[in-house]
Amino acid sequence: MINLVRQAFRPDGGAEKAINDYMQAFAKLGWDHRLICATEGWANLPSHQLVSLGPVSRGRFGSSQFTKRVSVHMESHPDQIYQSHQWTPGAQVIRLGDGLHSTWLKRSSAHASGLKNLARNLSTFHRSRLIEQKLTLEHSRLRVIIVNSNMVAQDLLAEYPRLSSKVHVIRNLTRCHREVIQMPVGAQTFGFVGSGWERKGLVYVLKALAQLPAAQLLIAGSDSNEAKYRSLAQKLGLGERVSWLGVTLDLESIYSEIHALVHPAIYDPFPNTIIEAMAYGCPVVISDSTGAVDFSGQEGVFVTPLDYLCLAEHMNSAAQSGLAVRKELAEFVRHYDVDYLASCLEKAYEDFQF
């Protein structure tokens, strides 16, 4: 029995999409599997595939509470396999969908104020996350580490060089394809997708948009500091040029409307939205701190430093990508499907006994 471990579900979450992808791949391989979480419901998952360890506290410290409950569960069922999608010491398989917390702290510190960095250094939450990371990656039971980009693999091995034999790069899946690729019409329109706007670089996008007269921006997602970003947009004179869509499940309609997706993240291992947009023939503009930099040689993938003037230039270039480039993008990622994932998992799990 393979137990996937993930605390909570949100309908627009990338980790939740990955969980569903992995369950489909396990089913395709004929491997018994279920999900261990802290919620009574997980999308449309049938009850026999769901093990709820009960609700945990709201906020950041709920994850530590959940991790302790998972540890108790693993001790009670030591003969089973655990593939965790968050820090879980003792799991035989760990998927680093969020990358390394230590790398996030290092990269974000260069873009934060001295006061904010001091607060992070003193934060009990960040200290506990770093401890969980270390305990998970140095645990004697750990056998497989799944990362979704070469960027994360390099970060991991720079900090934990002895783990090289355990690392497997398995890409995120496209999940959807647009059979007919068409050119968007009207004024240049860009898309920004996801939550956690500081990490994903929304400040840079808004400043870059101010350099592109008449260009528009669609923002799909939410953030607890949304008022701050709305205020910045007003100060930049963007006014009606920014549409705040909130949590949006129908991302396909957005990909078909925009000239390019913009994702200048401070740190993002490999966002689902990048490969999904590419599957719809949508050019992408990413920072060099985004795992999709692995695709930098592909036409239609524009890599930019975290500078809003450079970002504006790349956005303008991406928006002018022709139909041939868009079709090539969709074809380039087409094979990242469940069959691909199942094949990768067979290799990663080849030493396990079922």
Query: pLDDT grade, residue 11 (50/70/90)?
Result: low
Q: What is the dihedral of CA 144, 145, 148, 149, to 10 degrees?
A: -120
Task: Give the CATH number of domain 189-332.
Answer: 3.40.50.2000
Which amino acid would we find at residue 16? E
Question: Residues 158-192: pLDDT tens digits?
Answer: 999 999 999 999 999 987 766 768 888 889 999 99
In which band, very low, low, confident or very high, does the pLDDT at 52 lie, cut at 50, 70 and 90?
confident
DSSP letters along 85-136, please? Answer: SS--TT-SEEE-TT--HHHHHHHHHTTS-HHHHHHHHH-HHHHHHHHHHHHH
Q: What is the rounded CA–CA span in Å between residue 95 and residue 21?
A: 13
Domain edges within the chain: 2-173+337-348, 189-332
Q: Please give the span between the terminal C-alpha atoms of the chain, in angstroms, as a whole number.
A: 7
Q: Name the maximum alpha-carbon separation found in the chain.
A: 61
Question: How would CATH label the architecture of 2-173+337-348?
Answer: 3-Layer(aba) Sandwich (3.40)
DSSP state of 151: H
Same fold, 2-173+337-348 and 189-332: yes
Residues in the chain: 354
What span, in angstroms and rounded, lies between the C-alpha atoms of 288 and 285? 10
Per-residue confidence band for 225, with pLDDT thresholds at 50, 70 and 90: very high
**What is d(CA 314, CA 302) in angstroms, rounded to the nearest whole number?**
6
**Tens of pLDDT along 64-120?**
888 899 999 999 999 999 999 999 999 999 999 999 999 999 988 877 777 777 777
Element (DSSP H or E) covering residue 324 = helix 323-332
Say if CB 170 and CB 164 are below 8 A apart.
no
CA 33 to each of CA 2, 126, 150, 354: distance values in angstroms, whole numbers, following the listed order: 5, 32, 28, 11
pLDDT tens, position by position, 110-129:
777 777 777 777 788 889 99
- CA-wise closest residue to 337 among 86, 21, 85, 121: 21
